[in-house]
Structure 1
Amino acid sequence: MRRPFVFILLLCSCLLAGAQTSVGGLKLLDVYVVPHSLSFQNTTVGGLSGIDYDAKTGLYYMISDDRSSINDARYYAAKIHIHQNKIDSVVFVKAVTLLRKNGRPYPGTKQDPHHTPDPEAMRYDPVRKQLVWSSEGERIVKGKDTVLEDPAITIIKTNGKYVDTFPLPENLKMHATEQGPRQNGVLEGMTFADNFRSLYINLEEPRYEDGARAEVTENDAWVRIYKFDVASRKNTAQYAYKLDPVAYPPLPADAFKVNGIPDILSIGNGRFIVLERSFSTGRLPCTIKIFLADTKGATDIKNNPSLKNKPAAKPVSKKLLLNMDSLNAYVDNVEGATLGPLLPNGHRSLLLVADNNFSDKEQTQFFLMEILP
């Protein structure tokens, strides 16, 4: 197995979260597809919804959104070997079960739907040598079958053992009425910033009080980005980010469609790479737009209960870096992004991972991109 010289640079201090990175554009270098239903350590690899890179060890941490249905809720660690600007191989090295406070794995929906997680994002904290992952919770309102499970941000050791949680603000609590987060549109993306002193996490879709979901035509679809102080674990600020419209009309016209944020990635000084993912029934590929967003000067809306009634005076600014529809390549359900190692020309790499939803019609894809200064 080839081990390219770029990995000599893994200890570079510039890979610390929040380090300054110049982003003028993005260039696709390679796409790598993991075989469907790959078996590893008695688990089925799939549902990869978040990815993060530890520069010191060269490990990539990837959380699966398996809700303890196929196997116990888990994350994977892997080595992604890059040679001559190509992904040579993705080698999984361990599968780790996520554990509850009682030391047991999380139950599936058939065992205990009120405590079944919906894992979506994961980041590694090399300062504390811990992982942080998010769950979207659940909101099913069906009379006696109502399930209201709040989202969660959980800290674990690398062996999967529970450490603690971040207390969440009231506006992230689930309700049986149309208040708070929508089902499956909650804590989706996550990133450390400010040399691991801050943690940012975003909603995928608007809360009920903040307005309507994204439509095919332009509308005010506002999602919140939450900033937490890692030391105190307190939510210190919230910012408003406006989603683009859904990229394509669904077929039929009243079928499912969505546009939201699957991940965010700090590149320093209040700036972020933000992914927007649009899907419409009748079209298998997703439309993935990658933006450069800036929170500098944005209004803190932490005390604003409704963006529908009182929009932010200044939302997060954003600039399109790449619409992946332009790549002339099949693009599946991209959900995770991380900065990778430096490339031979000294430019930073960006790696994306796509969640195959454990479907034989979808792919677990890894995209290798070059960040152009």
Structure 2
Amino acid sequence: MKLSLIRRASVAALVLAATVAPAVAAQSSDTTPRSGTAVKAAAIGAKARLLGEKIVPYKLAFQDTTVGGLSGIDRNPCTGEYVMISDDRSVLQPARFYTARIDVDGAGVHSVDFTGTHPFRQPDGSVYPPVSAGDGKAVDPEEVRVDPRSCRRYWWAQEGDRPRSASEPVIQPSIQFANRSGAYRGQLPLPANYEITTGDLGPRRNKSIEAITFGDKDRVLTSAVEGPLLQDGPEPTLEHGALVRVTRQSREGAVLGQVAYPLEKIFAASDPSSPWPPDTGVPSILAFPDDPSRYLVLERTWVAGSGYKIRVYDATTRGATEVGGMDSLVGQRVVPMRKKLVADFHDLGLSTVDNTEGMTWGPILPNGERTLILVSDDNFADDAVTQIVALGVRVR
């Protein structure tokens, strides 16, 4: 999600629709952070502490590419290396991913060393064109996962593009898989309500698929749209949150279930002198290894004058209403996923809180904690950073 670019672009101001918000039978249960750097999620059971951070140099040159826009990260369980996806829409260089070694332990993040990069390729073998080409073939890469069954494939999500005018092409979101060199190997069929339509249905512009994860013994791929679908009600405001859809699918694409996740309200009022509205959503979701109903969910919010709010929640689908058959969530009695706060980045003592968009499990520490590695998307802007953050997460 290119928040820095949004602040600079000439886009129309967001008009909040005067529609009725979805009826919610169980509200989100955000916890109040305690003092210090550890925050408990008592009911579901995870707590996190800061291990360390590392800032990657701005516009680092690597193998004839510009490192930046890192919006997704995953750890290869076979090699211990990490793969990171750039959301460069082939503007600086072709849409691509990086591999890297991240030296992290209980004492912090010691180094981040990039080891390779490859462009993603279309079915005909060509790289993706820049979005400015206007031919409808551009992509907006946002998330990447290493196939845990073989480590030989990378699954990646791109959120497409809902055009601002009828003269621009619709670019549908997709979940594709590629080999380790970026060559196209296939695509996952998506649920019908993930499709961008010409009417008031489907994902909002720049609010489609940003989050995918493997779970349930690697048999299920779960995805989340970043914001509420157009038919599901308005986006969050200072007064109310919103519901976003989370979908479980088989590796072949069969939809196994769809539930709603409750996005928090906007945390602060915007600077009245700014033309840019608040922006919030779910950029990443991560399955717990041993519980097919449990996920870490990353919420990222930007407010003019207040900056970023980054929060990680422990969430479960247990007891959540099946919503796949609901054309709209407005006016429906919906029990969303339950959630508890694991970490608010403002409570961790970080050097800065920026546009964090990706997360993955890292190695298990000697004390039994799992490491959680997160990365921020600097949008190739000089007022932002590429930040690698490591948390120690104790799971109960």
Match of residue 148, structure 1, among 164, 167, 170 = 170
The DSSP-based 3-state class of the residue aligned with 1:279 is strand
The DSSP-based 3-state class of the residue aligned with 2:133 is coil
Shift of 1:359: 0.4
Corresponding residue for 2:236? 214
Match of residue 321, structure 1, among 338, 342, 353 = 342
Q: Determine which structure has greater relative contact order: mean sequence separation of CA pairs < 8 Å that are 6+ residues apart, divided by chain length.
A: 2
Shift of 1:100: 0.5
Name the aligned partner's letter for residue 301 of structure 1: V
Give structure 2 stretches of 5+ with no counterpart.
1-43
Shift of 1:236: 1.9
Is residue 2:190 matched to residue 1:168? yes
Shift of 1:254: 5.8
Which region of structure 1 is more displaced relative to structure 2, 82-91 or 317-326? 82-91
Give structure 1 stretches of 5+ with no counterpart.
1-21
Within a 5 Å distance, the mapping from 1:225-244 to structure 2 comes to 225-230=246-251, 232-244=252-264
Corresponding residue for 1:68? 90
Task: Name the CA distance, whole Å, in 2 between partners of 1:132 and 1:112.
Answer: 25
C-alpha offsets along residues 327-348 of structure 1, whole Å, 9 cap, x if unaligned?
2331110001111001232311
C-alpha offsets along residues 218-245 of structure 1, whole Å, 9 cap, x if unaligned?
24x1100011101x22222111111101
CA separation of 1:23/1:33 partners in 2, compared to 1, >3 Å: closer, same or farther?
farther
The DSSP-based 3-state class of the residue aligned with 2:181 is coil
Aligned CA RMSD, in angstroms, stands at 1.5
Q: Is the 8 A contact 1:218 1:245 kept in 2?
A: yes
Corresponding residue for 2:179? 157
When normalised by structure 1's length, the TM-score is 0.90
Task: Name the CA distance, whole Å, in 1 between partners of 2:237 and 2:279.
Answer: 8
Is residue 2:160 matched to residue 1:137? yes
Corresponding residue for 1:300? 322
Is residue 2:131 matched to residue 1:109? yes
Identity of aligned pairs, percent?
35
Is residue 2:75 matched to residue 1:53? yes
The DSSP-based 3-state class of the residue aligned with 2:362 is strand
Within a 5 Å distance, the mapping from 1:200-279 to structure 2 comes to 200-219=222-241, 221-230=242-251, 232-252=252-272, 255-267=276-288, 268-279=291-302
When normalised by structure 2's length, the TM-score is 0.85
CA separation of 1:24/1:143 partners in 2, compared to 1, >3 Å: closer, same or farther?
closer
Q: Is the 8 A contact 2:246 2:259 kept in 1?
A: yes
Task: Name the CA distance, whole Å, in 2 between partners of 1:371 and 1:26.
Answer: 4
Task: Name the CA distance, whole Å, in 2 between partners of 1:363 and 1:136.
Answer: 23
C-alpha offsets along residues 144-197 of structure 1, whole Å, 9 cap, x if unaligned?
2x3211100001111101011111122111122221110000101111001210
Aligned residues: 347
The DSSP-based 3-state class of the residue aligned with 2:75 is strand
Task: Name the CA distance, whole Å, in 1 between partners of 2:344 and 2:185.
Answer: 39
Corresponding residue for 2:305? 282
Task: Name the CA distance, whole Å, in 2 between partners of 1:151 and 1:46.
Answer: 22
Shift of 1:247: 1.6
CA separation of 1:83/1:25 partners in 2, compared to 1, >3 Å: closer, same or farther?
closer
Shift of 1:297: 2.3
The DSSP-based 3-state class of the residue aligned with 2:346 is helix
The DSSP-based 3-state class of the residue aligned with 1:171 is helix
Task: Name the CA distance, whole Å, in 2 between partners of 1:368 and 1:134.
Answer: 23
Shift of 1:84: 5.0
CA separation of 1:83/1:317 partners in 2, compared to 1, >3 Å: closer, same or farther?
closer
The DSSP-based 3-state class of the residue aligned with 1:209 is helix
Task: Name the CA distance, whole Å, in 2 between partners of 1:162 and 1:124.
Answer: 14
Corresponding residue for 2:392? 370
Task: Name the CA distance, whole Å, in 2 between partners of 1:257 and 1:208.
Answer: 17
Name the aligned partner's letter for residue 211 of structure 2: G
Name the aligned partner's letter for residue 297 of structure 2: V
Task: Name the CA distance, whole Å, in 1 between partners of 2:292 and 2:155.
Answer: 22
Name the aligned partner's letter for residue 349 of structure 1: T
Name the aligned partner's letter for residue 192 of structure 1: F
Name the aligned partner's letter for residue 68 of structure 1: S
